[in-house]
Amino acid sequence: MFFNTKKYTEIAEKNRKRNLSKDPSMFNMVSLAILATIGPTRFFLRLHKRKIEDKSKIESKKGEFIQEPVIYFHGFRGGDYTTNVMIKQALKEKKNSDYLKVTADLWGNFKLEGTWTGDQKPIVQVVFRQRIVGVYAIDYYLRLILPFLANRYHFTHYSAIAHSLACPCIIRTEMRKAHKTNFPHLNKCALIAGPFDGVTYMGDIPNVNGFNKKGRPTMMNLHYCYFLFRRKRFNPNISVLNIYGNVLDNTNSDKFISVTSAKSIRYVLAPLVKSYHEVEIRGEKYAEHSWMHDNPFVIDIVNKFINFKI
C-alpha cells in the first residue's frame, strides 16, 4: 500500500543509456536536494561561485522574428534519456539536427553543449544533475535555469515540454513569477504524466479520490491547493496540452500517477487559458508512466501542438 521506490527506480532507469557512475553520489544528490527544498538553507547554495562550462555554439538568427525556444524538462530520477526520443523526432520535424543541451546543478553551475539554432524555435534539452529531487527542488532549478537562458539567448517567452514531476513545477513557476517582467514566461506547455494532486500511495490512493459535479477533485493536497488559490495568476494567453496514461488495471493509473491526479489540473486551468486539450493514453504497452515520453503517438500529438514547422 506504499509507493514502491525500488520498482519506480527500475522502470525509470530502463531506457537509461548513460553510465550511472557519472552521476553525483547519492549523498550529493540527496543533501543538495534537501538544501534546495528548504527555503532558508538555499542561502548556502547561493554562496557557491557559479561556473559555466560552455562548449556550445550560437547561430545567427535566420530571419526577422522573435525566437521562442522549446524547452524539454524531465522529472524525478529522469535524465537526458527521458527526452532524447522526443527531441530526435522534433529535430526531424524541423529538418535540423542541432539543439542545445543544458546540464545544471543545484550549486548554480551550468554546462552548455550543442547549438542554439538561429530558427524561430530553438530546441533546448534541460538536464538536472542532481536528479533525485522533489517539487520544491525542481522549482529552485527552474528559477535558476530559465532566467539564465533568457538573459543569455535574449528571449521573453518559451514553450515547455515536461514529463512527470516537472509538469506541476512548470505551472507553479509560471504562477509564482507571473508579474516578473524580467523572467521568461510560457506560451505553450505540453504536460506528460503530470502528478498534480498526489502520487500513487503518496497522498493519492488509487480509486479513492474523484471529481465532484463541477470537476474539482474531492480530495486536494497542499500542492493542488497552491494551484487552486493562485490560478488567476496564470496567463490566459497560454495554451495547454495535458497527456496522461491509464494502463487499464485496477488502479486507474499509469502505474505511478492516477488518472484523477493527472486530470485534476483541468479544473484549475481549463476555464482560464487560451486553449486546453486533454488526451488519455490507454493500455499497458502504451500508457505506462516511464514509457509515455517515448511513445510515438504521444510524441506526434506533442509535435503537432508545438507546431515545429512554423
273: nearest Cα among 208, 192, 188, 215? 188
Give the pLDDT score at 10: 58
Determine whether domain 5-306 maps to CATH 3.90.45.10: no
User: How many angstroms separate the CA atoms of 42 and 180, rounded?
Assistant: 21
The backbone torsions φ and ψ at residue 199, rounded to the nearest 5 degrees and listed phi first, read: -110, 150
Give the pLDDT score at 113: 98
Reported confidence tier of residue 7, pLDDT bands at 50, 70, 90? low
* Run of H or E residues at 88: helix 80-94
Give the pLDDT score at 1: 38
pLDDT tens, 23-34? 899 999 999 999
What share of the chain has pLDDT > 90, as a percent?
87
Reported confidence tier of residue 21, pLDDT bands at 50, 70, 90? very low
In our burial notation (b when 16+ CB lie closer than 10 A, e otherwise), range 285-309 reads ebbbbbbbbbbeebbebbbebbebe
User: How many angstroms separate the CA atoms of 306 and 215, rounded?
Assistant: 27
Give the pLDDT score at 204: 85
Amino acid at 86: M
pLDDT tens, 31-76? 999 999 999 999 999 999 999 999 999 999 988 999 999 999 999 9
Average pLDDT, the chain: 92
Residue ranges per domain, the chain?
A: 5-306
User: How many angstroms separate the CA atoms of 267 and 93, rounded?
Assistant: 32
Give the pLDDT score at 2: 46
Cell numbers found for residue 125: 534539452
* 233: DSSP letter: G
The pTM score is 0.93
Residues with Cβ within 8 Å of residue 193, at least 6 apart in sequence? 163, 164, 167, 243, 244, 245, 254, 256, 257, 262, 289, 292, 293
